[in-house]
Amino acid sequence: MERPNSIAFPVAIVLILGMALMMVISTVLTVAVFLLTDGQSRKKIAVESVVELLQDGVGYDHTGKFVLEVEGVIAEKIIRLSEEQSDFWYFISDGTQSIIHGAVPASVQGIIDTTSPQVFSSEFSYVKGHQRFLGLRKLNAEDPPKLVVVGGVSFSNAETLLVVLREIWPQGLYHLLGIVLVATATIAVVAVKRTIATPVRRVVDSAEQIDGLPNGRRISDRDTPIELKPMVAAFNSALSCIDNAFEAQRNFLANASHELRTPLTKLRLKLDLVKDPDVRDVLVRDAARLASIVTTSLQLARLSGQSLTFAAIDLAVVARAIIAEHVPSAMNQGMDIEFKASEGRVMISGSEPAIRVALDNLIINAMRHARGTEVLVVEVLQARIVRVTDEGPGIPAAEREKMLRPFVRGSSSASEGTGMGLAIVSQIMMAHNGSVTLGEAADGGLVVDLAFPKIAKEPAPS
Amino acid sequence: MRILIVEDDRELASSLKSMMEAAIGVADVFETVADAEAALLAFKFDLVIIDRNLPDGDGLSLLPTLRQLRPRPATVVLTALDDPIDIVSALDKGADEYVGKPFEPMELIARARAVLRRYSLDETGCTQFGNLSFDLTNRSAMIGENAMSIPRRELAVLEALIRRAGRVVQRDNLEAAVYNIDEEIESNVLDSHVSRLRKRLREGNCNATIRTIRGIGYMLVQE
**Using one digit for the tens of pLDDT, what is the confidence trace for A195-234?**
777 778 888 888 887 766 656 677 777 777 787 888 888 9
User: Which residues in chain B touch residue A340, judged by CB atoms under 8 angstroms apart?
Assistant: 214-215
What A160-163 contacts at long range (C-beta under 8 Å, 24+ apart), as own/partner pairs, is A160/A35, A160/A42, A160/A45, A160/A46, A161/A28, A161/A31, A161/A32, A161/A35, A162/A74, A162/A77, A162/A78, A163/A45, A163/A46, A163/A49, A163/A78
- Mean pLDDT on B110-135: 87
Whether A98 shows a pLDDT value over 90: the answer reads no
A291 falls within a domain: no
Output A350 or B84, whichever has higher pLDDT: A350
Q: Do A320 and B167 touch (CB under 8 A)?
A: no
Task: State the total domains in chain A.
Answer: 2
Nearest to A265 among B84, B103, B167 (CB): B103
Q: Which of A130, A125, A164 is nearest to A42 (CA)?
A: A164
In sequence order, the 6+-apart residues with CB closer than 8 A to the CB of A137 are: A111, A112, A115, A121, A122, A123, A124, A147, A148, A149
Q: Over chain A, what is the mean pLDDT?
A: 82
Please indicate whether, in this complex, the C-beta atoms of B105 and A272 are within 8 angstroms of each other.
yes
Report the residue of B52, B83, B99 to disrupt the A interface, i.e. the one with the largest count of A CBs within 10 Å: B83
Quick one: pLDDT at residue A317? 93
Which chain A residues are closer than 8 Å to B12 by Cβ?
Answer: 262, 265-266, 269
How confident is the model over A239-259, as pLDDT tens digits?
888 888 878 877 787 788 778
Q: What does the DSSP 8-state code read for residue A61?
A: -
DSSP β-ladder status, B217-222 and B168-170 = antiparallel
The C-alpha atoms of residue B219 and residue B223 are separated, in whole angstroms, by 12
Report the 10 Å Cβ neighbour count for A45: 20
Contact criterion met (CB below 8 Å) for B96 and B72: no
Q: Read off the DSSP letter of residue A379.
A: E
> How distant, in Å, are the alpha carbons of A100, A200, A239, B191 from that of A223?
78, 10, 19, 60
Segment A433-461 shows an average pLDDT of 84
pLDDT over 80 at A435, yes or no: yes
Q: Which ranges of A346-393 would DSSP assign to H, the alpha helix?
A: 352-369
Q: CA–CA separation, A394 vs A412, rounded Å?
A: 9
Q: How far apart are CA A366 and CA A86, in angstroms?
A: 110
Which of A128, A154, A169 is the endpoint of a domain? A169
Considering CB atoms only, which of A258, A339, A341 is closest to B53? Answer: A258
The three-class DSSP label of residue A420 is coil
A–B interface: beta-carbon pairs under 8 A: 101
**Within 10 A of A380 (CB to CB), how many other CB atoms are there?**
24
Q: Which of A63-77, A310-324, B20-34 has the lowest mean pLDDT?
A: A63-77
Q: Which helix (H) or strand (E) holds B113?
A: helix B105-124
- B216 contact residues in A (CB cutoff 8 A): 320, 323-324, 327, 337, 339
Residues 229-288 (A) with a CB less than 8 A from some CB of B: 250, 253-254, 257-258, 260-262, 264-270, 272, 287-288
Determine the average pLDDT of the residues in A387-413: 80
User: Hey, are the CB atoms on B168 and A324 less than 8 Å from each other?
Assistant: yes
Judging contacts by C-beta atoms under 8 Å, the chain B residues touching residue A336 are 213-214
Residue A380 contacts residue A389 (beta carbons within 8 Å) = no
pLDDT in tens, A251-299: 787 788 778 888 899 899 889 889 999 999 899 888 888 888 888 878 7
* Beta carbons of B167 and A254 less than 8 Å apart: no
Residue B198 CA: distances (Å) to CA of A63, A302, A407, B150: 127, 45, 46, 11
In a domain, A276, yes or no: no
The more confident residue out of A457 and B179 is B179
Note whether A265 contacts B81, CB cutoff 8 Å.
Answer: no
Interface test with B, best of A211, A243, A262 (most B CBs within 10 A): A262
Q: Nearest by CB to A339, from B12, B80, B215: name it.
A: B215
Contacts of B25 (CB under 8 A, 6+ apart): B1, B2, B3, B46, B47
The answer to the question of residue A452 being in a domain is yes
Residue where a domain terminates, one of A169, A186, A209: A169
| Residue A411 in this model has a pLDDT that exceeds 70 | no
Residue count (chain A): 462
Is residue A456 scored above 80 in pLDDT? no
pLDDT confidence bin for A418, thresholds 50/70/90: low
Partner-chain contact A327 B213, CB within 8 Å: yes
Long-range contacts of B118-122, Cβ-Cβ distance < 8 Å, separation of 24 or more: B118/B74, B118/B163, B118/B164, B119/B46, B119/B72, B119/B73, B119/B74, B121/B162, B121/B163
Q: In CATH, which of 1.25.40.10, 1.10.8.60, 1.10.10.10, 3.40.50.300 is domain B126-222?
A: 1.10.10.10
**Sheet of B208-213, strand order:** B168-170, B217-222, B208-213
Contact A338 B80 (CB under 8 A): no
Contact A327 B216 (CB under 8 A): yes
Which residues of chain B are in CATH 1.10.10.10 domains? 126-222
Report yes or no: A363 at the B interface, CB cutoff 8 Å. Answer: no
Measured between beta carbons, the chain B residues lying within 8 angstroms of A358 are none
Of B28 and A24, which is predicted with more confidence?
A: B28
Q: For residue A254, what is the nearest residue in chain B, using CA coordinates?
A: B81
CA angle A386, A390, A391 (to 5 degrees): 155
Q: How close B139 gets to chain A, by Cα (Å)?
A: 28
Q: What is the DSSP string of A75-130?
A: HHHHHHHHHTSTT-EEEEE-SS-EEEESPPPHHHHHHHHHS-TT--EEEEEEEETT
Q: Give me the pLDDT at residue A462, please.
A: 43
Whether A2 is covered by a domain: the verdict is no
Count Cβ atoms below 10 Å from residue B109 Cβ, excluding itself.
16
Contact A340 B15 (CB under 8 A): no
User: Which among B16, B80, B217 has the least Cβ separation from residue A261?
Assistant: B80
Among A250, A269, A324, select the one facing B216 at the smallest CB separation: A324
Cα-flanking dihedrals φ and ψ of residue A451, to 5°? Answer: -105, 125
Parent domain of A384: 308-462
Angstrom CA distances, A343 to A56, A316, A456, B213, B223, stand at 91, 9, 21, 18, 34
Q: Any idea which of A233-247, B34-48, B146-160 has the lowest mean pLDDT?
A: A233-247
Euclidean distance between CA atoms A434 and A454, whole angstroms: 9
Contact (Cβ atoms closer than 8 angstroms) between residue A46 and residue A155: yes
Q: Which of A210-219, A354-363, A411-420 has the lowest mean pLDDT?
A: A411-420
Residue A190 inside a domain? The answer is: no
Report the pLDDT value the prediction gives residue A385, as an integer from 0 to 100. Answer: 95
Phi, psi of A49 (to 5 degrees): -65, -45
The percent of residues above 90 in pLDDT, for chain A, comes to: 16
pLDDT band at A410 (very low <50, low <70, confident <90, very high): low
Query: What's the gap in Å between the CA of B70 and the closest CA on chain A?
Result: 31
Residues of chain B with CATH 3.40.50.2300: 2-124
CATH topology for B2-124?
Answer: Rossmann fold (3.40.50)
- Checking if the pLDDT of A350 tops 50, the result is yes
Rg of the Cα atoms in chain B: 19
Distance separating alpha carbons of residues B4 and B47, to the nearest angstrom: 6
A247 contact residues in B (CB cutoff 8 A): none
Among B81, B166, B170, select the one facing A254 at the smallest CB separation: B81
Residue A220 lies in a domain: no
A143-181 pLDDT tens trace: 778 888 888 887 777 787 777 777 766 566 667 777 887
A224 within some domain: no
In tens, the pLDDT along A100-119 reads: 888 888 888 888 888 888 88
**Residue A320 to chain B, least CA–CA distance (Å):** 6
pLDDT digits (tens, 9 = 90+) for B140-153: 899 988 888 889 88
What is the pLDDT, as a whole number, of residue B179?
82
Residue B155's closest CA among B214, B219, B200? B200
Residue where a domain terminates, one of A148, A169, A190? A169
Kind and range of the H or E element at B158?
Answer: helix B152-163
Region for A308 from its dihedrals, namely left if φ exceeds 0, alpha if ψ lies in -120 to 50, beta otherwise = beta
Residue A118 belongs to some domain of the structure: yes
CA distance A115 to A111: 6
Are A359 and A327 a contacting pair, CB within 8 Å?
A: no
DSSP A171: S
Q: Which residues contact B79 (CB under 8 A, 6 or more apart)?
A: B51, B52, B86, B90, B98, B99, B100, B101
- Chain A residue at shortest CA distance from B105: A269
Question: By the 8 A CB rule, do A376 and A370 touch?
Answer: yes
CA distance A48 to A73: 18
Strand segments (E) across A266-329:
311-314
| pLDDT in the model for residue B203 | 92
pLDDT band for position A1 (50/70/90)? very low
